[in-house]
Amino acid sequence: MPQPPATWRIILPLGIGTALSLMGDASMYAVLPTHTAVAGVTLVSVGILLSANRWVRLAANNVVGWLSDRQPKRQIFVAALFLGALSTAVYAFTSGFWPLLAGRLLWGIAWAGIWVAGNGIILTAAPLAVRGRWVGYYQISFFLGAATGAFLGGLLTDWLGYHQAMMVAAALSLLGALQAWVFVPKEIGDQKTRPEPAEGLEIDSAISDRQSPISPPIRWPELTSATAVLGVNRLVIAGIFVSTLGLYLAGLWGESVEVYGRAIGVATLTGLALSANTLISMIFTPLIGSLSDRAGNRWQVVGGGLVPGIVGFGLLALSLPFSLLLGLPLTSITSSSNQGLSTALMGDLSGGKRHGRSLGALYTVGDLGSAIGPMLAFAVLPIWGISVLYSLNAVLFFGLLVMALYWVRTAKSTTD
């Protein structure tokens, strides 16, 4: 059933701003390792620069979450978009380790504001009956921005040069900030005034409870479980799987593979595999969110969404060529399910007055998982090998499945 116009009046400017804000960051991941000379940095420092934004978010997420429970989320979101454009301008107009480090730290703070406040706006504005779908739609902007930014950044760098490509990325990010400033509805996310329902948009009890002086008690065990869903997902996918996929493909086919008489390098194959992962996630995130809205118990859908990842990593652990063709899409389905549903669950379990703090804690745990994942993976790879590592990923997802089934059973026992 098509969404009413009010849905897109909120989601579209939020999504455009979020996607365009990622142009500089995604470009840095794509081109900095191969353009260290023109950027004025050493290869050794690339790892520090590309991870600095994640480490600063461990503190910034909670600060932004606290602020967004006390200030209009729209103001925080738009200000963070402009800060993100400034950080990309730093990449464009400076060189050297320290200026780029400052830019990366600025970006980490900006992304905390964009992602925590942006998702907070969605949770505040979305009627409970379609919250999962709204979250899924907004998550598309992240996947689309990351994929487009990496591709466009590489293309423009080869065409125009490193600094010129970053100028284009900064201009696009600024454009995204400007359109959000103009088009994100001013009444959305304002904690001080109750928004009037837009045409076709119902304000249900899940939204209006933020106006109540008494918030419902926090269900800490279930809230912690929802946080664990994203934390484990980011550890397994963004931390371990993404950082080791190139090695996995090299182990399968060596440095290149011949396709129709043409040799394709492992770096190209890795890029194609990651792009396929992003595309699959974009498709399934809103579909799974919509399914969770209809199911009546999101934990049921969380549990079902974990099964493909368990099977997928089990297949990948076999280290056979066919296992990639089956395993990659299965793990992508679980990745998209976990990312979207953990946010929707956080909205269900925390009152409107606590959405910001809850999201700040959720994304801090997620960033911690993605930050320690590569270090953990490369520490144990020489000892265990990649097949054992991917088997452990399947075990971690299975642990989440057991937890999800526990909450499904608990919900059924309370309703019987």
- 118 CB contacts (<8 Å, ≥6 apart)? 14, 17, 18, 77, 138
- For the chain, which residues make up each domain, given as ranges? 5-189, 220-415
Give the type of residue at 360.
G
CATH number of 5-189: 1.20.1250.20
CB 120 within 8 Å of CB 68: yes
Can you read off the two tokens belonging to residue 334?
């679980």
What fold does the segment set 220-415 form as a domain? Answer: Growth Hormone; Chain: A; (1.20.1250)
Can you read off the two tokens belonging to residue 150?
């990496």
Who wins on pLDDT, 219 or 131? 131
**Residue 259, SS3 per DSSP:** strand
- Kindly tell me the number of DSSP H helices and DSSP E strands found in the chain: 16, 2
Count Cα atoms within 13 angstroms, Cβ side, for 243: 22
pLDDT tens across 85-122, in order?
999 999 999 999 999 999 999 999 999 999 999 999 99
Who wins on pLDDT, 46 or 306? 306
pLDDT tens across 284-343, in order?
989 999 999 998 889 999 999 999 999 999 999 998 878 888 999 999 999 999 999 999
- 214 CB contacts (<8 Å, ≥6 apart)? none
pLDDT tens across 221-280, in order?
999 999 999 999 999 998 888 878 878 887 887 766 666 667 767 656 766 777 788 888
Note whether 5-189 and 220-415 share their fold. Answer: yes
**DSSP H or E stretch at residue 116:** helix 97-125
